[in-house]
Structure 1
């Protein structure tokens, strides 16, 4: 071995020795991580997780939950999504402060639709103030006035039905609910003069919210271009209405007026852009949930005659007591109808996934006693569509049974908080839940009192391909107007 080879050998030996010593020191000084990471869904490298997710999150959950338990991770491209299934592991998801589990990053795809400066495009402190505007617009005194408008819209809409006929219930309810929402939320100007224009623009906004939009919200595709044009035109329409109201001093009893009158803590009034964005967010949140849930409620009632009889008996009792009058307080007495709606919503929550971004590491313990450490940076997810059907919480969970919520049984309360999460829960529970129930009750109390209904198409299937999961296809119903009101 010559001198050059000897030097090379000595240098190599020194490097190897240094690495070995460094490794030994790291083991001694920095023990191996003791993190108890959740089990991981087995997929093909790189795109396997994406393929499983796009196949359908609920399908994936059905396959993996029996194998991996209530906490597990899916590697999705460069992200890790850790799923929490069931109330035993969901408390941190629903109770954690925004500094620990944040909505903002995971719901950025809403920004092109809602617009800049509102909801998920602002800091948490500003978003909290904007949520306060929603809360004020949905307080009980406001809801009572909204109910009067809901009842009036239902009466007017169904007065156009004939003595008998066949209709697509899904189509009818979708149209009625956007009319009602336009009146209660967007204002009389939209409802009376601009409904067709605004409805068409909202349709383009809605169709611009695709599964691909979640990952690439600004992808230059036709649906996104139509979305952006619609958003711009809506902003112009609402700017004109806001300017007119401020100029004339006219004040209406609707959510638009509430947002116009709202002020931040520092005294700053809302801008036209903020009012527009908040209105769009409100309509998106309420329209889909109400139309989808009202359709499922009807389909189940017409399929289950025993529960249909029960809600009819309830309507008879209320009419004996109050006559034909329907207002906020009377709707609040409709407990049987409430349970029927709640059960339809348990089985078919329109939002099948709720997401957060983890800003700090935390630990969780499953009902089986396993403890896991959830790393910072993971997306944390839970699924109302899956969790609402867990057999250790709900008896025969796939069966429609509104009595599971009746006094003395209350299956959603026996297992503890967050057993029923169709409206979310905790810090980020849906503010519009009371509005949605009142709206659906107003519609169905009118239908039940005034029409005999029969489901003539097959029971509907779930449309898993939609961003907001709803009813697939037509829901054909044969109706016959009652000669007399129920008495």
Structure 2
């Protein structure tokens, strides 16, 4: 803002205050009315003057200019977070603070920024304090962010037991069966069911993949009882619970709205549903190859077994978290394959080469075979690069923390202080499409992962760090991966332990669908934009896919 603009704003504020004083003298009633009318304007003017004229504390990161107090930059951030961050980086550098509905959020961009936030100690940065008001009403008490970090790390270790390679080997055929059965029975695939290889059908890709994802997850991780009860009543419970997992619930956790009441009622019914399953299994002595059985056999370090409600709430957390991320990534992948016919046919030919029978049918994949398919692997990695399910990761600052303004300078150089009570934010999505790192970052190009010496391969090696030092945060030794510009499943102590299952699920779903149908974007429709108004980044509508049955299926 120029000096002339500043003087003009100052003069306007003085004129406005003189006017209000005149009306106070003339009529107290009118003065009250005018105060109500002009108070927001006065607040905005004072907020602008504070930012322009008040000396800034140089020890703090620069604050993004904003017009409206409390609201701050919430609208710009919420509408297009990546665009907002790139613009702020041009003006303020890698480290800056913005106002998010009264919260002061310090952003640290780039791989070094990711490492600063996601690699920070839990004594400095707290995920629990940042998210419990959102997750606890949905997941339930005594799990995830409703417990101290060390307890959550133990719970992650318990879940990891159920994510064994032995189970994964059994899950591949289960997922294939579920996808095939869905395509044979769901009305969206009517053209496929009619064995018509000439006419094209159509469906909303996000709706279809969401249904397939929850069916495959329930068949594998959740257990037979959950899969058998996947009827409309369960779907209604899930929808009501999902309605409480939105940005508005994060920003305003205790509003007296009907959706909040439906969320709480749905959580209780779903929790009771799982607890009843657990108790019946105990009575019958059934031991199945699923997550419930794995959790029933685990004990905390103090010797205590998980209580029934803890198992139930962990199962709800797995259902909710996995459903959103996998359905979003699957939707984006199929949209890109529908747009890029060459990549789609390459993926199909890879399936024919490895699993095709002489009669045009396909044999089942094995887990080990699926992990060795370079084109399928590249499609998933590239989709996760451009469309990570979660763009921003927050932590609550428990004690004053110093950070370099460039994040690459030594600690002895100039530093900022992020005060206790603020939040810090990492945005791996920025580094995953940063033109300073990637060539043509906004072009979906799976072949970039084929170059063993390329940026993508190096980023993946850093993320996985197979030969590097492992860190045990309490749930087994893992690669931190916090220095990588590619972090699709997070990094550090809160790295997603379900990433291997998510990969398996995505690969099996994509392979099965693309074996049976060709897909295209709906004629006349552009590729969907990101919808950042949801907790998980989904494609905006319209997002229709046209499909045609393959000749040999």
Q: TM-score, normalised by structure 2?
A: 0.77
Whole-Å separation in 1 of the counterparts to 2:113 and 2:425: 11
Whole-Å separation in 2 of the counterparts to 1:97 and 1:142: 33
Q: How does 1:251-330 map to 2 (within 5 A)?
A: 251-319=287-355, 324-330=363-369
Deviation at 1:47, TM superposition (A): 3.1
Q: 1:363 aligns with which of 393, 396, 403?
A: 403
Deviation at 1:414, TM superposition (A): 4.1
Deviation at 1:137, TM superposition (A): 1.4
Whole-Å separation in 1 of the counterparts to 2:256 and 2:313: 22
Q: Which residue of 2 aligns with 1:452?
A: 518
CA-atom RMSD in angstroms: 2.3
Whole-Å separation in 2 of the counterparts to 1:375 and 1:455: 46
Q: Quick check: 1:393–1:412 contact (8 Å CA) kept in 2?
A: no
Q: Decide whether aligned partners of structure 1 residues 159 and 78 sit closer, same or farther in structure 2, where only a CA change above 3 A counts.
A: closer
Q: Which residue of 1 aligns with 2:218?
A: 182
Q: Which residue of 2 aligns with 1:127?
A: 152
Whole-Å separation in 2 of the counterparts to 1:55 and 1:289: 20
Q: Which residue of 2 aligns with 1:433?
A: 499
Whole-Å separation in 2 of the counterparts to 1:477 and 1:76: 36
Whole-Å separation in 2 of the counterparts to 1:263 and 1:297: 39
Q: Which residue of 1 aligns with 2:179?
A: 154
Q: Quick check: 1:72–1:83 contact (8 Å CA) kept in 2?
A: yes
Q: Secondary structure at the match of 2:130?
A: coil
Asked if 1:408 is matched to 2:452, the reply is yes
Whole-Å separation in 2 of the counterparts to 1:197 and 1:464: 29
Whole-Å separation in 1 of the counterparts to 2:323 and 2:415: 38
Whole-Å separation in 2 of the counterparts to 1:170 and 1:77: 30
Q: Which residue of 2 aligns with 1:23?
A: none
Whole-Å separation in 2 of the counterparts to 1:151 and 1:267: 39
Gaps of 5+ in 1: 1-32
Whole-Å separation in 1 of the counterparts to 2:113 and 2:391: 18
- The C-alpha deviation readout for 1:338-369, integer Å capped at 9, x for no partner, is 11111112111121110112233133362674
Q: Decide whether aligned partners of structure 1 residues 36 and 402 sit closer, same or farther in structure 2, where only a CA change above 3 A counts.
A: farther
Deviation at 1:320, TM superposition (A): 5.2
Asked if 1:383 is matched to 2:419, the reply is no
Q: TM-score, normalised by structure 1?
A: 0.87
Q: Secondary structure at the match of 1:156?
A: helix
Q: Secondary structure at the match of 1:345?
A: helix
Q: Secondary structure at the match of 1:81?
A: strand
- The C-alpha deviation readout for 1:145-174, integer Å capped at 9, x for no partner, is 222321221122123341245131322211
Q: How does 1:158-237 map to 2 (within 5 A)?
A: 158-160=183-185, 161=189, 162=193, 163-164=195-196, 165-168=200-203, 169-237=205-273
Q: 1:467 aligns with which of 530, 535, 544?
A: 535
Q: Quick check: 1:82–1:380 contact (8 Å CA) kept in 2?
A: yes
Deviation at 1:86, TM superposition (A): 0.6
Deviation at 1:194, TM superposition (A): 4.6
Q: How does 1:100-115 map to 2 (within 5 A)?
A: 100-108=124-132, 109-115=134-140
Deviation at 1:371, TM superposition (A): 4.3
Whole-Å separation in 2 of the counterparts to 1:352 and 1:321: 42
Q: Quick check: 1:358–1:380 contact (8 Å CA) kept in 2?
A: yes
Whole-Å separation in 1 of the counterparts to 2:439 and 2:122: 34
Q: 1:71 aligns with which of 80, 89, 95?
A: 95
Q: Secondary structure at the match of 2:221?
A: helix
Whole-Å separation in 2 of the counterparts to 1:371 and 1:313: 55
Whole-Å separation in 1 of the counterparts to 2:144 and 2:84: 30
Whole-Å separation in 2 of the counterparts to 1:210 and 1:320: 43
Q: Which residue of 2 aligns with 1:398?
A: 442
The number of aligned residues is 453
